[in-house]
Amino acid sequence: MKSGVLAVFGASAAVLRSGSLEAAEMEASRPVLALAQAQARFWKASEGLERVSLAMNASQEDTSAKVDEFLRNQVSSDHTCHAKLYRYKNMLNHLHEDVNHVYSKEKALVETITIEEAVITDLGNQIKNVVEEGKRKMKECQDAKAAACAEYETYSKELEELKQIGHSPTNPIALFQTVMK
């Protein structure tokens, strides 16, 4: 959440530096786009890892069943190689545990990325809202400026007329004073 606030402040600073909201949009969207691209690459890798993990689990179950059957057959025979087979089975079990551990880590990373994706989407919406609000305020400011300029022109013309009336040879104040006497 802190990074979202920083992104909004960064976008605001970019507006102040460049004076345009379009530049701020571009600057604010760069980290979001980079993160989205990284996420897309991760999802592709994640899907591949999941397929490999499922295939390994299936093959390990088959292999484990075959090794167990072979060991049962070897124990009943007079061969001494069953000790080596037990050792290899133990190694296979450790590898299976490692695969499960890596798979659980991968699953946790996918969940983390999903959460971060939601945060990125929220930040993108916040940036979009800030930019839209800035555009709306800029439009209001320009409209107010145009109205103020028009009002200034009107008052300037009225003032000019009043000055002309005040300096006219037939001064209305003098006329008014003579009428009042």
Q: What is the pLDDT of residues 117-152, one digit of tens each?
A: 999 999 999 999 999 999 999 999 999 999 999 999
pLDDT score recorded for residue 134? 94
pLDDT score recorded for residue 141? 95
pLDDT score recorded for residue 22? 63
pTM score: 0.39
C-alpha dihedral sign at 67, 71, 74, 80: positive
pLDDT score recorded for residue 21? 55
pLDDT score recorded for residue 162? 84
Q: Quick check: 47 pLDDT over 90?
A: no
Q: Quick check: 59 pLDDT over 80?
A: no
Ranked by mean pLDDT, the top range of 7-11, 64-68, 111-115, 136-140 is: 136-140
Q: Quick check: 3 pLDDT over 60?
A: no
